[in-house]
Amino acid sequence: MRPLDWVVFGIYFTGVVGLALYQSRKNVGMEGYFLANRRLPWGVIGLSVMATQASAITFIGTTGQAFDGGMEFIQVYLPQPLVMVVLCVLFVPFFYKANIFTAYEYLEKRFDLKTRTATSLIFLIQRGLGAGIVLYAPAVVLSVIMGWDEKATILIMGAITIAYATVGGITAVIWTDVIQMLVMFLGIGVAIATLFDTLPDSVGMEEVVYLGGIQNMWSSIDWSWDPTNTYTIWSGMIGGFFLALAYFGADQSQVQRYLTAKSLKASRFSLLFNAFLKVPMQFAILSIGVLLFVFYHFERPPILFNASEVAVAQNSEFSEEFNTLQVEQGNIHLLRKEATLALLETRREGGDVTSLRNDIRGYDSHLSKIRVEASSIVENVRGTSSNDVNYIFPSYLVKYVPVGVLGLMIAVIFAAAMSSLDSELTALSSTTVIDLYQRHMHPDASEKHLLGVSKLATLFWGLFGCVVALYAGQLGSLLEAVNKVGSFFYGSLLGVFLLAFLVKSSNGNGAFWGLLVGMASVFIVAQTTDISWLYYNVVGSLMVLIAGTLVSWACPDRDSKKADIL
């Protein structure tokens, strides 16, 4: 990064943290620290909800995913508008009526203490792991751009985020999210414009769409019924629906946001705001990955996008084999570039392009094979898996974007990372303190005491996330990793809430044992079948509903509190 890049980055970073701390001065007590005294407008909450989900994984993992597989991941997001409507009609009114701090507090009012405790612990486990993966993402960027050690970067980034989240609470977090989300929108536009600017002058929108279409990169809909295929319209509309409903309806990091609204109407508006904007935003980010795929038809791509892995291979006993692959990759790239330019020229002249299209497909396949072979060499040397999908976009930024723009793009990625990590820390802290510490250990503790414990809990979960982040690089695609972690738990958590809302005869016994059956079912399915992880959410939810209903019927709970909360 050049001085101007550091200036842009520094101004952004200082301004965001300063705004966060300034806004947090209005916090009053525990309700202020965790719920902003329930006074925030719907637009602010809506941007915060978007920012929480649009982490650095969105910019790093999604673009890398699209570079390798095209627009197929958009299918996972297609059901989100419907999900937001379901939340507005079914979930939000119940939460508001209960006057709660956390989503799991509602479950004790509806069912019993053991259900609340079990769901709280499950959330803490899966979201704590997710926080580590989110924290790892910006470390990838800095390791590529500045050559910093990933471990040191994780600790530095974690410390900064923990500091302002601990001091400012949810108010600081949400207002930070607002600025960060606006910067993300700007960054998406700048990234797309920069990519077009770095393409040859003869390549415009029409040519980009055409070249991407040769490998079906723009084909976002797969109508296959194959349940082992993660990215189909059915896995997206069914599995993606349950995943999104669980995330927005049963995850404290999201529920906490719309509980800060000053009214039920404002809370609903914040979710409908997401219904309109989320899919177009995701489409734009995926388009960056396809644009990168087209861009590297004209510029030679690295044999591996992770520069440290290239260095490992070149300094190993396999260096000669690796260097041979690099020479071969360079030759094939030149052939593909020449074929691509010839294709565009022939197409402009109205000639037959069939042969050239087939040649380009062959070169693409050959280059992919070389990349796999290079990754295998790295795996043999290190003894661990190699996956450079998370380095594709950062590698482009370092080499091709102009001065000043690089600083902005780094700010965007940091914004995305901070907006998700700080949100998760406040959610983890509120669940730890409200659902476990206060409920089980110190029910009569003063508000001052609980506020101090809340800040310590934020610190603890921040450190826990740092530890997980140190190992996140071995999980492959960050985008898939964070969703896979959640999918082992989300469906069962969702099932408990659906049981509470939809089955009036259900009780605490049914909810608790249904939760255990749902989780066991997911793990059995994961171990014994090859179905996509997106369907784990469906399996978990349905098994909780079925088992919970049956157990409630067989084991009635005489102390059921449903009449007080339904």
**What number is the average pLDDT over the span 192-213?**
88
pLDDT of residue 421: 81
pLDDT of residue 413: 74
Is the per-residue pLDDT at 483 higher than 60?
no
Residues 240 and 368 in one domain: no
Q: Are 552 and 509 in contact (CB under 8 A)?
A: yes
Residue 231, classed as helix, strand or coil, is coil
Is the per-residue pLDDT at 562 higher than 60?
no
pLDDT of residue 444: 87
pLDDT tens profile 89-140 = 999 999 988 889 999 999 999 999 999 999 999 999 888 877 887 777 677 6
Residues 281 and 337 in one domain: no
User: Any residues with CB less than 8 A from the CB of 262 and at least 6 apart, and which?
Assistant: 38, 39, 40, 41
Q: Is pLDDT larger for residue 252 or for residue 22?
A: 252
438-444: Cβ within 8 A, 24+ apart: 439/108, 439/113, 439/116, 439/117, 440/117
pLDDT of residue 214: 87
Residues 380 and 403 in one domain: no
Residues 183 and 210 in one domain: yes
Domain, as residue range, for 323 = 307-387
Element (H, E) at 368: helix 354-382
Residues 172 and 320 in one domain: no
Q: Are 15 and 179 in contact (CB under 8 A)?
A: yes
Most confidently predicted of 290-304, 482-496, 552-566: 290-304
Grade residue 320 by pLDDT with cuts at 50, 70 and 90. Answer: very high
Residues 120 and 204 in one domain: yes
Tell me, yes or no, whether 445 lies in a domain.
Answer: no
* From 4-13, 19-28, 311-320, the region with the lowest mean pLDDT: 19-28
Is the per-residue pLDDT at 419 higher than 90?
no
Q: Is pLDDT larger for residue 560 or for residue 471?
A: 471
* From 23-32, 286-295, 376-385, 515-524, the region with the lowest mean pLDDT: 23-32
pLDDT > 70 in the chain, percent: 91
pLDDT tens profile 235-250 = 889 988 998 899 889 9
- Report d(CA 317, CA 326) in Å as an integer: 16
For residues 539, 541, 542, 543, the Cα torsion angle rounded to the nearest 10 degrees is 80
Residue 421's Cβ-side half-sphere holds a number of Cα atoms within 13 Å equal to 35
Residues 119 and 244 in one domain: yes
Last residue of a domain, one of 326, 361, 387: 387
* Beta-bridge partners for 40: 261
**What number is the average pLDDT over the span 38-48?**
86
- Report d(CA 318, CA 75) in Å as an integer: 40
pLDDT of residue 563: 45
Tell me, yes or no, whether 417 lies in a domain.
Answer: yes
pLDDT of residue 119: 95
User: Any residues with CB less than 8 A from the CB of 509 and at least 6 apart, and which?
Assistant: 551, 552, 555, 556, 557
Is the per-residue pLDDT at 191 higher than 50?
yes
CA distances from 368 to 354, 396, 561 (A): 21, 18, 59
Last residue of a domain, one of 335, 367, 387: 387
pLDDT of residue 89: 92
Grade residue 168 by pLDDT with cuts at 50, 70 and 90. Answer: confident
Residues 212 and 327 in one domain: no
- Report d(CA 276, CA 279) in Å as an integer: 7
Q: Is pLDDT larger for residue 557 or for residue 439?
A: 439
Tell me, yes or no, whether 440 lies in a domain.
Answer: no
In this prediction the pTM is 0.81
Q: Is pLDDT larger for residue 487 or for residue 456?
A: 456
Q: Which of 163, 171, 72 is nearest to 462 (CA)?
A: 163
Tell me, yes or no, whether 211 lies in a domain.
Answer: yes
Q: Are 405 and 413 in contact (CB under 8 A)?
A: no
Q: Are 100 and 119 in contact (CB under 8 A)?
A: no
Grade residue 479 by pLDDT with cuts at 50, 70 and 90. Answer: very low
Tell me, yes or no, whether 477 lies in a domain.
Answer: no
- Report d(CA 411, CA 142) in Å as an integer: 11
Residues 289 and 323 in one domain: no
pLDDT of residue 76: 82
Grade residue 346 by pLDDT with cuts at 50, 70 and 90. Answer: very high
Handedness of CA 99, 102, 105, 107 (dihedral sign): positive
Tell me, yes or no, whether 128 lies in a domain.
Answer: yes
Grade residue 141 by pLDDT with cuts at 50, 70 and 90. Answer: low
pLDDT of residue 383: 72
**What number is the average pLDDT over the span 373-391?**
80
Q: Are 65 and 220 in contact (CB under 8 A)?
A: no
Grade residue 474 by pLDDT with cuts at 50, 70 and 90. Answer: low
Q: Are 51 and 180 in contact (CB under 8 A)?
A: yes
- Report d(CA 138, CA 157) in Å as an integer: 8
* From 285-294, 377-386, 476-485, the region with the lowest mean pLDDT: 476-485
Residues 106 and 83 in one domain: yes
DSSP single-letter state for residue 40:
B
Tell me, yes or no, whether 109 lies in a domain.
Answer: yes
Average pLDDT taken over every residue of the chain: 84
* Beta-bridge partners for 261: 40
Q: Is 26 left (phi over 0), alpha (psi -120 to 50) or beta?
A: alpha
Tell me, yes or no, whether 408 lies in a domain.
Answer: yes
pLDDT of residue 369: 94
CA distances from 467 to 55, 429, 454, 472, 473 (A): 19, 17, 20, 9, 12
pLDDT > 90 in the chain, percent: 32
pLDDT tens profile 259-283 = 888 888 989 998 988 888 888 888 8
Residue with tokens 């001052």: 448
pLDDT of residue 330: 94
- Report d(CA 124, CA 253) in Å as an integer: 11
For residues 25, 31, 35, 36, the Cα torsion angle rounded to the nearest 10 degrees is -20
Provide the domain count of the chain: 2
Q: Are 149 and 377 in contact (CB under 8 A)?
A: no
Grade residue 420 by pLDDT with cuts at 50, 70 and 90. Answer: confident
> Which amino acid does the sequence have at 99?
N
Q: Is pLDDT larger for residue 355 or for residue 404?
A: 355
**What number is the average pLDDT over the span 356-369?**
93
CA distances from 275 to 261, 272, 362 (A): 17, 5, 40
> Which amino acid does the sequence have at 211?
L
Residue 210, classed as helix, strand or coil, is helix
Q: Are 351 and 342 in contact (CB under 8 A)?
A: no
Kindly write down the DSSP assignment for every residue of 213-245, as one continuous string. Answer: HHTTTT--------TT-SSSHHIIIIIHHHHHH
CATH number of the CATH domain containing 121: 1.20.1730.10
Residues 245 and 316 in one domain: no
> Which amino acid does the sequence have at 79?
P
Residues 168 and 197 in one domain: yes
**What number is the average pLDDT over the span 20-47?**
81
Is the per-residue pLDDT at 380 higher than 60?
yes
**What number is the average pLDDT over the span 207-222?**
85
- Report d(CA 156, CA 151) in Å as an integer: 9
